[in-house]
Amino acid sequence: MTALLTNMLCLEHQMMPRHPERPARLTAVLEHLGATGLMAELDVREAPLAERQALLRVHDAAYLDALERLTPQQGLVQLEPDTFMGRRSLLAARAVAGAALAGVDVVLDGAERRVFCAVRPPGHHAEESAAMGFCLLNGIAVAATHALSQPVIDRVAILDFDVHHGNGTVAAFMDNPAALVCSCFQFPHYPYRLQDVDRPHIVNTPLPAGTKGAAFRRAVERDWLPALDAFQPQLILVSAGFDAHAADPLGELLLDEDDFRWVTQLVVAAAKQHAGGRVVSVLEGGYDLAALARCVHIHIEELAA
């Protein structure tokens, strides 16, 4: 069985009215999984809140203190041009990181082989001491460092197919070759930083606006498969963004449902080959509600295969 981790606190983080990173994203995903019957086939668990100790493996203490100090009693505070925080936002972000952490524990304990974390806000832009691009805490990086702190895990791969480059994840592991970070993304495009880091364990696959599925698949096969074969990860984490879908308002790549099915099959095959089948996938972007819901459904179907 595949586990689904979520927490209703993730619905309590709101930015401005009509902001694309909105609670309705998660509602759309959960309602679709319920309506199609897939939810009933999953091991659904409530995600815990990440504790400070786990967050400190990625974020610095002064930054975590600042997020607490800046949390408003009402209304919103602006942390940077794209990122706002309300009264419950930090709890939501801690639930995201907590889901990813608990997901790692679920697969390392052997309770399940695959986990999907249905959570928001996204996290892969958040750096050690900076919120960025709708992200407060970098859940995927926190989960990877947690996995690497376990005696049985020496190598973790992070695969990121969000339309935006995961600069925060790259920053977290730039000098730590225990993590292989493979990221495909629209280029040039936000976040305009750390997109050309050239190291054996940082694999960047830039894709021009207008890229369709066939070219996306060729590029991912060319760049990710040799890297995964050489690295032989013991666990695979996924920054699962669905904003590279053709219908997405924030990206200009032209992927469709079949492309997300294909890339998930690639992830699961690599996990079965190298990592005992262990995959923890965490929702990042995806801003067209209908496309997001359909793609998450397909992603979980293939995780469960």
Site residues (CB under 5 A) for Zn ion, limited to 266-285: 285
In the bound state with Zn ion, the residue whose beta carbon lies nearer, of 25 and 278, is 25
Helix, strand, coil percent values for the chain (each to nearest 5): 40, 20, 40
In the bound state with Zn ion, the residue whose beta carbon lies nearer, of 98 and 241, is 241
Q: How far is the CB of 243 from Zn ion (least distance, A)?
A: 4
Q: Is 164 one of the binding residues for Zn ion (CB under 5 A)?
A: yes
For residues 46 and 56, give the distance between their C-alpha atoms in angstroms, rounded to a whole number.
23
CA–CA distances in Å: residue 153 to residues 205, 228, 234: 26, 16, 6
Q: How many CB atoms lie within 10 A of CB 128?
A: 13
| Interaction mask 102-141, Zn ion, x per CB under 5 A | ----------------------------------------
Q: Site for Zn ion (CB under 5 A): which residue of 21, 127, 160, 162?
A: 162
Residue nearest to Zn ion (CB): 285
For residues 83 and 78, give the distance between their C-alpha atoms in angstroms, rounded to a whole number.
6
How big is the chain, counted in residues? 305
Q: Which of 13, 32, 59, 125 is catalytic?
A: 125
Please say if 125 is a catalytic residue: yes
Cα angle 167-302-153, degrees, rounded to a multiple of 5: 55
For residues 283 and 301, give the distance between their C-alpha atoms in angstroms, rounded to a whole number.
15
| Interaction mask 213-252, Zn ion, x per CB under 5 A | ----------------------------x-x---------
What's the chain's Rg over C-alpha atoms?
17
In the bound state with Zn ion, the residue whose beta carbon lies nearer, of 243 and 302, is 243
* Amino acid sitting at position 98: G
Q: How far is the CB of 282 from Zn ion (least distance, A)?
A: 13
Q: How far is the CB of 272 from Zn ion (least distance, A)?
A: 27
In the bound state with Zn ion, the residue whose beta carbon lies nearer, of 98 and 166, is 166
* Amino acid sitting at position 165: H
N- to C-terminal Cα separation, the chain: 9
In this structure, what DSSP letter does residue 12 have?
S
Q: How far is the CB of 85 from Zn ion (least distance, A)?
A: 19
Site residues (CB under 5 A) for Zn ion, limited to 11-30: none
In the bound state with Zn ion, the residue whose beta carbon lies nearer, of 38 and 282, is 282
Which residues of this chain interact with Zn ion, rule CB under 5 A? 162, 164, 241, 243, 285
Kindly list the catalytic residues. Answer: 125
